[in-house]
Amino acid sequence: MADFTGKTALITGSGRGMGRSHAAILAARGAAVVIHDINEAWAEETARRIRDKGGRCLVACGDVSKPGDMQDVVRRGEAEFGGIDILINNAGISAERAGLDGITEDLYERMFGVHVKGTIFTTQAAVPGMIARRSGRIVNISSIWGMTGHHFGATYCAAKAAILGLTKAWAKEFAPHNICVNAVAPGAVKTEMQVEVDGLEAVKAQAKAIPLGRLAEPEEMSYPVIFLASSEASFVTGQVLSPNGGDTIVGV
């Protein structure tokens, strides 16, 4: 089991769901954690749970689609813990439930603002410190839909596919600085957001279509993320892991 003692991790969108799980596991394994979310109450609840178990964390809230907010989040994390060693670009919003004629400019801007702009500019803020230390791990959270597409949610699919492109490009750009960049593309996960958007019955029906017969628990997404963030993945970069219960099986 990888030990993160002495490391600092920033997890965007870690107020609940998968992000909260990533933060909790990293903290349990010794990392100092910068908890980010746009919702301060959610972020504080994540922090409370971590501190109750003896973990070290800092709450730094902001809008991931605003570069200035994320520069401030990174600066606060660096000031508190000395540097950001691990960046998990996790913040996201759910897919639109509409066809082409339902896409508005506002929806497009929001989808790409959170997923793509947020990933780019949070990374831009965190990478200089990694370069200075000649060490870093970046894990970008994409989606199975960024790999396969879906009959609704075109802008979500496109934004999550863009994250895969960023991952592959940055893996090559940052490799000379000993910074590894990878992506996790989750399948269906049992989170609050999933139930809020689709409803419980639709989620149950979706689970039946997955070969393993169920949705993933959030921690089942966290373990691949934690692996890619660890020293055990020191020769892994530019790769995409998709824990999806067999929903999509990609051959080499």
pLDDT digits (tens, 9 = 90+) for 44-58: 999 999 999 999 999
Q: Is the pLDDT of residue 195 over 70?
A: no
Contact indicator for 17, 192 with CB cutoff of 8 Å = yes
Cα 59 to Cα 32, 34, 46, 73, 94: the distances in Å are 11, 6, 9, 9, 23
Q: Is the pLDDT of residue 201 over 90?
A: no
Q: Thinking of the domain 8-187+221-237, which architecture would CATH place it in? A: 3-Layer(aba) Sandwich (3.40)
- Give dist(CA 117, CA 33) in Å, integer: 22
- Give dist(CA 179, CA 181) in Å, integer: 7
Mean pLDDT rounded to a whole number for the chain: 95
- Give dist(CA 16, CA 161) in Å, integer: 23
Residue 91: the pLDDT is 98
Q: Which of 95-104, 132-141, 189-198 has the lowest mean pLDDT?
A: 189-198
pLDDT tens, residue by residue, 146-194: 999 988 899 999 999 999 999 999 999 999 999 999 999 999 998 877 7
Specify the higher pLDDT residue, 208 or 233: 233
Q: What is the pTM of this model?
A: 0.95
Residue 203: the pLDDT is 78
Residue 158: the pLDDT is 98
Residue 89: the pLDDT is 98
Q: Which of 62-66, 75-79, 173-177, 248-252 has the lowest mean pLDDT?
A: 248-252
User: Which is nearest to 213 in space by CA: 183, 250, 187?
Assistant: 187
Q: Residue ranges per domain, the chain?
A: 8-187+221-237
User: What number of CA atoms fall less than 13 Å from residue 206's CA on the CB side?
Assistant: 16
Max Cα separation, the chain?
50
Task: With residue 190 as reference, give the H or E element that holds it.
Answer: none
Exposed, middle or buried, 199 (CB in 10 Å: 0-12/13-18/19+)? exposed
Determine the residue type at 117.
Answer: K
Residue 251: the pLDDT is 60
Query: Which residues are annotated as catalytic?
Result: 156
User: Which is nearest to 225 in space by CA: 173, 189, 198, 178?
Assistant: 189
Residue 142: the pLDDT is 98
Cα torsion 64, 69, 72, 73: sign:
negative
Which pair of structure tokens corresponds to residue 89?
């670009």
DSSP E strand boundaries for the chain = 8-11, 32-35, 56-59, 86-89, 136-141, 179-184, 240-241
- Give dist(CA 206, CA 236) in Å, integer: 32
User: What number of CA atoms fall less than 13 Å from residue 78's CA on the CB side?
Assistant: 17
Q: Is the pLDDT of residue 252 over 60?
A: no
Q: Is the pLDDT of residue 71 over 90?
A: yes
